[in-house]
């Protein structure tokens, strides 16, 4: 029997985050999450009702969109580790560039080597900091990306210290994103410049383009 996943939604849009921002992308949003962040904007994927789809059926839906780039997101995809790993492997075999957005609290070792890990390290403002799985940090590659979602100056200083403590400078791509409607992009940009940290300012393009669209964007 084919592996199946609990899916929140599958849709085509513009990649709004990561260093791939702006590119056409197909998204597979899985159900379930092991965290409850204070600023979560996909609560419907954490505790709502999804659709059970087999891995082949999910791939068929993705292929219909015709994009090279595919992002597996959530929720937290790794709460469905076996199914997500199988989905990623099949998408890679189909010639796709596969991103996986994760909070990094669960072991990413089961993922196929070709998957680009986008790991969101939770700052204090999330209410969920200190839960990153250490082995994930040790296995980060230059092609992977580490994101810090910043609520305030305390979060920013915490993130800069975390980068130094774990030797992340010069390794994976570093992303600093302001919490939408909580911290201004200008403030964060000025902090990045003042601190001299080599991080990319990341804005959520999909929220700028479609401010009233809560799902499928």
Distance from C-alpha of 110 to C-alpha of 108, rounded to nearest angstrom: 6
CA dihedral 142, 82, 15, 56 (to 10 degrees): 130
Distance from C-alpha of 9 to C-alpha of 124, rounded to nearest angstrom: 29
101 token code pair: 């957005």
DSSP state of 146: E
DSSP state of 189: H
Q: What is the pTM of this model?
A: 0.95
Contact (Cβ atoms closer than 8 angstroms) between residue 50 and residue 7: yes
Q: What CATH number matches the domain at 4-209, 3.40.50.720, 3.20.20.70, 3.40.50.10860, 3.40.50.1100?
A: 3.20.20.70
* 12 three-class SS: strand
Per-residue pLDDT of the chain (217 residues; tens, 9 = 90+): 679 999 999 999 999 999 999 999 999 999 999 999 999 989 999 887 899 999 999 999 999 999 999 999 999 999 999 999 999 999 999 999 999 999 999 999 999 999 999 999 999 999 999 999 999 999 999 999 999 999 999 999 999 999 999 999 888 999 999 998 899 999 999 999 999 999 999 998 988 888 887 777 6
Residue 87, CA atoms < 13 Å, CB-side half-sphere: 33
* 157 three-class SS: helix
* Burial of 215 (C-beta count, 10 Å sphere; 0-12/13-18/19+): exposed
110 token code pair: 């089961």
Domain ranges of the chain: 4-209
Please name the residue that has the structure tokens 């939604």.
9
């Amino acid at each position: 029997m084919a592996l199946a996943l609990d899916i929140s939604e599958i849709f085509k849009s513009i990649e709004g985050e990561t260093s791939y921002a702006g590119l056409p992308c197909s998204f597979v949003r899985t159900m379930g999450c092991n965290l409850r962040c204070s600023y979560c904007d996909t609560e419907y994927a954490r505790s709502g009702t999804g659709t059970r789809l087999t891995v082949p059926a999910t791939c068929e839906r993705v292929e219909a969109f015709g994009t090279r780039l595919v992002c597996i997101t959530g929720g937290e995809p790794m709460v469905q580790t076996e199914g997500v790993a199988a989905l990623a492997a099949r998408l890679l075999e189909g010639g796709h560039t596969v991103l996986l957005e994760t909070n990094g609290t669960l072991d990413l070792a089961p993922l196929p080597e070709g998957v680009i890990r986008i790991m969101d390290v939770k700052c204090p403002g999330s209410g969920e900091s200190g839960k990153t799985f250490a082995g994930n940090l040790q296995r980060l590659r230059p092609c992977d990306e580490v994101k810090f979602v910043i609520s305030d100056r305390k979060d920013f200083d915490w993130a800069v210290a975390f980068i130094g403590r774990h030797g992340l400078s010069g390794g994976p791509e570093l992303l600093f994103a302001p919490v939408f409607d909580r911290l201004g992009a200008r403030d964060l940009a000025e902090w990045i410049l003042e601190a001299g940290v080599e991080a990319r300012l990341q804005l959520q393009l999909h929220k700028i383009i479609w401010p009233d669209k809560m799902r499928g964007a």
